[in-house]
Amino acid sequence: MTTPVLQIKDLQVAFRAGKKLIPAVRGASLVVYPGQTVAIVGESGSGKSTTAHAIIDLLPGTGVVTGGEILFEGKNVAGAKKGEILALRGSSIGLVPQDPMTNLNPLWRVGAQIKEALVANGVAKGKDADRRVVELLEEAGLPDAERRARQFPHEYSGGMRQRALIAMGLAARPKLLIADEPTSALDVTVQKQILDHLDSLTDELGVAVLLITHDLGLAAERADHLVVMYKGQVVESGPARQILQDPRHPYTQRLVSSAPSLASQRLSSERARVEVREQAVQTAAEIAEEVATHADEFGVGQATVVEAKNLTKDFTLPGGRPGSSSAFRAVDDVSFTLARGTTTAIVGESGSGKSTVARMVLGLLDATSGTVEFDGVDITTLSGKKQQLALRRQMQPVFQNPYASLDPLYSIYRSIEEPLRTHGIGNDKEREARIRDLLDKVSLPAAVMRRYPNELSGGQRQRVAIARALALEPEVVVLDEAVSALDVLVQAQILKLLNDLQGELGLSYLFITHDLAVVRQIADNVLVMQNGGIVESASVSTVFDSPREEYTRRLLDAIPGGSIPLGA
Amino acid sequence: MPETTPLPGQERFLAPLDETPLQETGALDTSSPPESQWKEAWKELRRNWLFWVSGAMILLVAVVVIAPGLFTNLDPSYADLSKSLDPGSSGHIAGYDKQGYDVFARMIYGARASVLVGVLTTILIVVVGLITGAVAGFYGGWVDSVISRIADIFFAIPLLLGALVGLSVINNLFPDRGEFGGIVAVVIALGVFGWPQITRITRGQVLQVKNMEFIDAARAIGATKRSNLLRHVIPNSLPPVIVTATVSLGILIVAEATLSFLGIGLPPGVVSWGNDINAAQNQIRSGQRIGVMFWPAGALAFTALGFILLGDAVSDALNPKRRTE
């Protein structure tokens, strides 16, 4: 019989706000055995990170443990003295923090920071420590470790920084490693590499891992035991596969059915998509006919609503000497078409140029060369304000960050009214009726009108952003990472909303995303971009079932949880 | 993921459903009335004791400026040489200065010129700084280069030195400009060297705001550059400008007093704190009745402190990040 390395019993954590205590974790219990990987899954605000941070007494701000026990190797560390916790940190419990960008001191060489961890835990000193640093970096999978150790964090990529943090977390050979969303800030392919490496490393060393993640697919793929948290409580826990195949708590059921990485393998989502497309294409065809027969409408009413031809964008970067400069090609010869009533997804990792393409299509950025045609009209050569305004009515964006895409000083009413006002549509009364109608379309109560963005949740703001985009009754909506910043359940809701609206209004979507998993739920065609160029371009089913390119295959493999067979 | 019998404590667990009732995902919280950011900042401000203390200080100064008669019925420009340096009697709590003026009455009436200079100069530098900073930050390119370099040049000249030289030039050009003309001259001299600070702050803020997504969203709607600047960018750039303006009000009042103390600020005929501190400096040298200087100097410090404290309170209220701790 093995004894657990960590046992949390009925843990209560609260945050002090003035004189009140606001509970964040309410009676969480879990057990971790040596060598095991246990994952805590939940959305933002579920208390998963708070639980993990309570273990090493690193609660942010005003957080306090108000009840329960945290037994590390049988000894209660909740409420232990500062000195005792300090002795545990690093040497017995390691931490890999969430954000690799802010968790390394930019003024220190990476090697020196790992050395600090070694010296602080009394593992090694002086020359020995230097040698150990290089070994640890090699172990964490950094090539040319000796040179890398002398570099500064800004000379590392995001994935390399996370490797350095892993090296630091494992420096003193702890018995337990807490990994708090270790790869959320990284591209999927890098995420897979890092997690694979972390897996083999912890197996080799026999370290137990407590993995904190919002991604159910990732958790199920990496952990033996799953703990699902919701509103500060553990709602369900058990063997990972059992939970995934037979979720019993309604919240877990919702999570399993919404997780994009899992849902994307479900055929039901593809069938639903086909229905939406049929309806949307039909509605769109009617609109096209109307456009074709009315001379005053913008465009000619053809079946291809957006066509990009050989789009290229060069950015000038300042060179080494004042006055000199060099060119950087962000987008290289990209061509694609968007058929009326369908969705074309552009998928790529950070730096692939996908957002730059979106901005050029929207006319927010001038192309270095190449053209964008909207319904047969070249938008780069539009003359006159009137024509440009006419184009704006037909094509609207929804951006990634729901916290930055609405003016914080504008009420929701004013935000949605702005496009109507700018285009001089209707009088005050007509506009109000239109705004009510739009809010209804995006399933928000009319009461939201008088509120301000800071009072709404991320999902609600994104609905408002969609309502604003639809205010001018556009034919095309460019969704630039529009669901990427949202929690899974909210993401699923917004994707459903977008699908419903597409069917109802015959919209055409250009869907920019880094997440191949959501593509199957909303798109019909996919462009895979890498380093500014298109790698593969095909229908969704072709890309998912028989990808032609190595890079596409790697992206697909990297979708966490994609390989787990589902019961339902 | 091998299928084995779970270890003790890791058996399948399901929380009772009534313990954590499922909430509607994305439900709207309508428990409190709608609140704009400005309203929220105002609420925050009212909760801060610094705001009430500094507010009371400024209110007192404001009343003195508007109705000095409430505080003294003496004429600040009536001098009785026979009372020179008299320590005072009943009704003359601060006594008399070298010229035989009533020190208290002069302190009360001196507020007007000092505060007027501070307020007018602040308005001038905010207007000039906001426009130049917003234009430079928003349009960029050569417009930015020209404005920023001019601002740098003025920034490089010390405020007091610049104002000193500027005022001597004005003095030579318009020797007789009267009381109000004297105030205007000081306002211009301080304003010319004060605006670059506001320009820089506004420019920095505009650069940050103009890259936010809601600006792109407004562009995609078809809003013109100018309406974008006026409707979105400038309003969102205001908070740090307001903070700086409040603090500089206090600093400019001190700067005016410094200029007058150096004998080049307000004309000698104007009753002002700086002029009185200047007049009283001889007492420090002679050692007779040093107290004469404390009255105008104290009033000056009180007023400047009021505005600087208010600036702090406003800055806390407008900066939500600093608020959380």
Q: Same domain for A307 and A364?
A: yes
Residues of A in contact with B236 (CB under 8 A): 407-409
Confidence of residue B7 (pLDDT cuts 50, 70, 90): confident
Q: Do B237 and B219 contact (CB within 8 A), yes or no?
A: no
Tokens coding B305: 């402190």
Residue B112: domain span: 38-323
What is the C-alpha separation between A485 and B181, in angstroms, rounded?
59
Residues of A in contact with B41 (CB under 8 A): none
**Considering the domain boundaries, does residue A565 fall inside one?**
no
Q: Same domain for A74 and A222?
A: yes
Q: Is the pLDDT of residue A346 over 70?
A: yes
Q: Same domain for A309 and A380?
A: yes
**Considering the domain boundaries, does residue A436 fall inside one?**
no
Tokens coding B24: 């509607």
Q: Is the pLDDT of residue B123 over 70?
A: yes
**Considering the domain boundaries, does residue B233 fall inside one?**
yes
Look at B37 and A31 and tell me if their CB atoms are within 8 Å: no
pLDDT, position B1: 44
Q: Is the pLDDT of residue A404 over 90?
A: no
pLDDT, position B151: 94
Residue of chain B minimizing CA distance to A460: B26
Nearest by CB to B14, from A236, A405, A459: name it.
A236
Look at B10 and A33 and tell me if their CB atoms are within 8 Å: yes
Q: Do A210 and A176 contact (CB within 8 A), yes or no?
A: yes
Q: What is the CATH number for A10? A: 3.40.50.300
Look at B17 and A250 and tell me if their CB atoms are within 8 Å: yes
Residue B320: Cβ within 10 Å count: 14
pLDDT, position A267: 61
Mean pLDDT of A454-458: 84
pTM: 0.85
Q: Is the pLDDT of residue A291 over 50?
A: yes
pLDDT, position A256: 86
- Vertex B160 angle, CA B154 and B162, to 5°: 40
Look at A254 and B29 and tell me if their CB atoms are within 8 Å: no
A479 Cα to chain B: minimum distance (Å): 12
Run of H or E including A356: helix A354-361
Q: Which residues neighbour A102 within 8 Å (Cβ) at sequence distance 6 or greater?
A: none
What is the C-alpha separation between A264 and A273, in angstroms, rounded?
11
Nearest to A199 by CA among A56, A39, A73: A39
Nearest to A142 by CA among A156, A124, A125, A123: A156
Residues of B in contact with A451 (CB under 8 A): 34
B38 Cα to chain A: minimum distance (Å): 8
**Considering the domain boundaries, does residue B81 fall inside one?**
yes
B154 Cα to chain A: minimum distance (Å): 25
- The three-state secondary structure class of A331 is strand
Q: Is the pLDDT of residue B325 over 50?
A: no
Confidence of residue A568 (pLDDT cuts 50, 70, 90): very low
Residues of B in contact with A456 (CB under 8 A): 28
**A80-125: per-residue pLDDT in tens?**
788 888 888 888 899 988 877 788 898 999 999 999 989 988 888 8
Interface test with A, best of B4, B5, B13 (most A CBs within 10 A): B13
pLDDT, position A279: 87
pLDDT, position A336: 94
pLDDT, position B23: 67
Nearest by CB to B220, from A233, A397, A452: name it.
A397
Confidence of residue A535 (pLDDT cuts 50, 70, 90): very high
Nearest by CB to B22, from A4, A250, A419: name it.
A250
Q: How many domains does chain B have?
A: 1
pLDDT, position A198: 87
Pick the more confident residue, A353 or A262: A353
Look at A224 and B1 and tell me if their CB atoms are within 8 Å: yes
Q: Do A256 and A264 contact (CB within 8 A), yes or no?
A: no
Tell me what the pLDDT averaged over chain A comes to.
87
**A499-513: per-residue pLDDT in tens?**
999 999 999 999 999
Residues of A in contact with B19 (CB under 8 A): 233
Q: Is the pLDDT of residue A222 over 70?
A: yes
ipTM for the whole complex: 0.81
A237 Cα to chain B: minimum distance (Å): 5
The beta strand positions in chain B, using DSSP E, are 13-14
Tokens coding A63: 């957080």
Residues of B in contact with A419 (CB under 8 A): 221-222
**Considering the domain boundaries, does residue A454 fall inside one?**
no
Mean pLDDT of B271-297: 80
Q: Same domain for A236 and A285?
A: no
A251 Cα to chain B: minimum distance (Å): 7
**Considering the domain boundaries, does residue A427 fall inside one?**
no
What is the C-alpha separation between B138 and B208, in angstroms, rounded?
10
What is the C-alpha separation between A474 and A512, in angstroms, rounded?
18
Q: Same domain for A63 and A132?
A: no
Q: Is the pLDDT of residue A176 over 90?
A: yes
Q: Same domain for A185 and A238?
A: yes
Tokens coding A423: 């285009």
Pick the more confident residue, B197 or B6: B197
**Considering the domain boundaries, does residue A503 fall inside one?**
yes
Residue of chain A minimizing CA distance to B219: A364
Q: Same domain for A65 and A110?
A: no
Residue A382: domain span: 267-318+325-407+475-558
pLDDT, position A513: 92
Residues of B in contact with A240 (CB under 8 A): 1
pLDDT, position A479: 94
Q: Same domain for A276 and A332?
A: yes
pLDDT, position A245: 84
pLDDT, position B13: 84
Residue of chain A minimizing CA distance to B211: A404
Look at B35 and A452 and tell me if their CB atoms are within 8 Å: yes
Tell me what the pLDDT averaged over chain B comes to.
84
**B25-67: per-residue pLDDT in tens?**
666 666 677 778 888 888 888 988 999 999 999 999 999 989 8
Nearest by CB to A388, from B7, B17, B222: name it.
B222
At which of A173, A198, A232 does a domain end? Answer: A173
Tokens coding B316: 């806390």
Residues of A in contact with B218 (CB under 8 A): 407, 418
**B60-108: per-residue pLDDT in tens?**
999 998 988 888 877 777 777 777 767 777 666 767 777 778 888 888 8
Mean pLDDT of B204-217: 91
pLDDT, position B264: 82
A294 Cα to chain B: minimum distance (Å): 23
Nearest by CB to B1, from A7, A61, A241: name it.
A241
What is the C-alpha separation between A405 and A465, in angstroms, rounded?
7
Look at A239 and B10 and tell me if their CB atoms are within 8 Å: yes
- Write the single-letter amino acid at B227: S
Q: Same domain for A240 and A287?
A: no
Residue A551: Cβ within 10 Å count: 18
Q: Same domain for A400 and A523?
A: yes
| Buried/exposed A16-25: b ≥16 CB within 10 Å, e otherwise | eeeeeeebbb
Percent of the residues in chain B that have a pLDDT greater than 70, as a whole number? 90
Q: Same domain for A207 and A283?
A: no
B226 Cα to chain A: minimum distance (Å): 13
Mean pLDDT of A482-499: 87
Q: What are phi and psi of B23, to 5 degrees?
A: -100, 155
Pick the more confident residue, B319 or A36: A36
A115 Cα to chain B: minimum distance (Å): 32
Q: Is the pLDDT of residue B324 over 50?
A: no
B310 Cα to chain A: minimum distance (Å): 23
Look at B20 and A230 and tell me if their CB atoms are within 8 Å: yes
Q: Do A371 and A410 contact (CB within 8 A), yes or no?
A: no
Q: Is the pLDDT of residue B323 over 60?
A: no
Look at B222 and A249 and tell me if their CB atoms are within 8 Å: no
Percent of the residues in chain B that have a pLDDT greater than 90, as a whole number? 36
Q: What is the CATH number for B116? A: 1.10.3720.10
Q: Same domain for A15 and A40?
A: yes
Residues of A in contact with B8 (CB under 8 A): 1, 31
Q: Do B29 and A449 contact (CB within 8 A), yes or no?
A: no
Q: How many domains does chain A have?
A: 3
